[in-house]
Amino acid sequence: MKYKLLGKSGLRVSEICLGTMTFGEEWGWGANFEESKKQFFGFLEAGGNFIDTANRYTEGTSERFLGDFITESGRREDLVLATKYALVTHDRGLNLAGNHRKNMIQSVEGSLKRLKTDYIDVLYLHAWDFTTYSEEVLRGLNDLIQQGKIFYIAISDTPAWIVSRANTIAELRGWNAFIGMQLEYSLLQRTGERDLIPMANAFDMGIIAWAPIAGGALTGKYLQQNDDAKRLQPNSARLNEKSRAIAQEVVNIAAETGFSAAQVAIRWVMQQHQQVIPIVGARHLGQLNDSLGATSIQLQPEHLHRLNEISKIELGFPHDFLKGDGVRDILFGGKLGELEIHHRGY
């Protein structure tokens, strides 16, 4: 296991993050206490120190399990523990969800109790609700940092323009900015390459990718009838014709290299951008160990090219327009071929 800096924070985190949405059986496809414990300690033994959960996961059971495991490990100070707020837990109520300060404080207090800790290393805003002003969110999060209840803030599942505006406001007002961004990113979901990933690179934010194997679709198990392949519904976009073609190419490359299909899919994510860290979850230790094997392999340029080509997307306007030869010719006065460009151009 190697380590990366999480955005501009200076935090040293493992190159793979342990996802714990499968810790608990409330949602019908997770792991029980003992199996979750095996995964947790197996991840630590492999060198992992970056752990992801949320108040929403398995109705709060994920955090409760982690609270027990972290206490037993005696390694709280060395672990980077991330959780999230915004989504409702097992209780339902109008103000028991959302981005506003009331739910923010209630959620953090609940997470601290379930996690059996005095502080949260990274608190994500889980999803943007389009009702709370950015300034209100940032001020509330900044107050929690000043109180020592959280150390850093990050954001998930939010449009790029909202994140960039929020971080600019934070910089101008001397508040803490978001150091990382979580998004769905895999060979089946590359639309984040349009705006979210370039935005994160421009702000030097960590990129944390969830669903790198697309709910198991990229392992190839849905290419044939399999009783174990039951999490995704037949009408899922992850199982449409294009998705199946991509999964088949992953399986083909796995067969050629001797890697597992999951390792190929996860490694593709890891080799796309320097800042990206995939979140890996599992239902049992064997699955987790297989996924962690992605840290010790490397995809060759030929493999990357094949995967990039079969999974490529249209970037849409204005990206494709601005990359057109005609536009680039008149932007640079017909002299683009004679110009050396060394910066990213934002």
What is the model's pLDDT at position 225?
66
261 and 323 co-located in one domain: no
Position 69 confidence tier, pLDDT thresholds 50, 70, 90:
very high
Task: Tell whether 319 is covered by a domain.
Answer: yes
154 and 190 co-located in one domain: yes
Task: Tell whether 36 is covered by a domain.
Answer: yes
Task: Tell whether 106 is covered by a domain.
Answer: yes
Task: Name 97's Cβ contacts closer than 8 Å, sequence gap at least 6.
Answer: 86, 87, 88, 103, 129
Percent of the chain residues topping a pLDDT of 70: 97
Query: Phi/psi at 60 (nearest 5 deg)?
Result: 100, -10
CATH of the domain at 35: 3.20.20.100
Instruction: Specify which residues 18 forms β-bridges with.
Output: 51, 280
* C-alpha distances out from residue 219 to 168, 216, 287, 301, Å: 40, 5, 11, 21
CB-based contact 53:63 (threshold 8 Å) = yes
pLDDT digits over 307-334, tens only? 999 999 999 999 999 989 999 899 989 8
Q: Got the DSSP string for 160-212? A: HHHHHHHHHHHHHHTPPPEEEEEEE-BTTB-GGGTTHHHHHHHTT-EEEEE-T
pLDDT digits over 129-143, tens only? 999 999 999 999 999
Instruction: Write the DSSP symbol of residue 215.
Output: G
327 and 198 co-located in one domain: no
CB-based contact 264:299 (threshold 8 Å) = yes
Residues spanned by the domain of 318: 314-346
97 and 50 co-located in one domain: yes
The dihedral sign for the CA sequence 325, 331, 335, 340: negative
22 and 134 co-located in one domain: yes
Which residue in 3, 57, 124, 185 is the catalytic one?
57
318 and 294 co-located in one domain: no
For the entire predicted model, the pTM comes to 0.94
Query: Phi/psi at 217 (nearest 5 deg)?
Result: -60, -30
Stretch 25-33: mean pLDDT: 93
Closest CA to 156 of 175, 136, 137: 137
249 and 124 co-located in one domain: yes
Task: Tell whether 308 is covered by a domain.
Answer: no
Helix (H, G, I), strand (E, B) or coil at 259: coil
CB-based contact 183:192 (threshold 8 Å) = yes
pLDDT digits over 256-311, tens only? 999 999 999 999 999 998 889 999 999 999 999 999 999 999 999 999 999 999 99
Q: Would residue 124 show up in a list of annotated catalytic residues for this protein? A: no
* C-alpha distances out from residue 336 to 127, 194, 333, Å: 41, 23, 7
What is the model's pLDDT at position 274?
83
204 and 331 co-located in one domain: no
Q: How far is it, in rounded angstroms, from Cα 206 to Cα 50?
A: 13
* C-alpha distances out from residue 273 to 22, 276, 305, 341, Å: 26, 6, 15, 20
275 and 326 co-located in one domain: no
Higher pLDDT, 229 or 187: 187
Task: Tell whether 304 is covered by a domain.
Answer: no
Task: Tell whether 305 is covered by a domain.
Answer: no
119 and 193 co-located in one domain: yes
β-strand 206-210 against 276-280: which pairing, if any? Answer: parallel
Half-sphere exposure of residue 303: CA atoms within 13 angstroms, side-chain side: 23
253 and 335 co-located in one domain: no
291 and 334 co-located in one domain: no
Task: Tell whether 189 is covered by a domain.
Answer: yes
The yes-or-no verdict on residue 228 having pLDDT over 60 is no
Task: Tell whether 19 is covered by a domain.
Answer: yes
Q: How far is it, in rounded angstroms, from Cα 124 to Cα 163?
A: 12
Q: How many domains in the chain?
A: 2
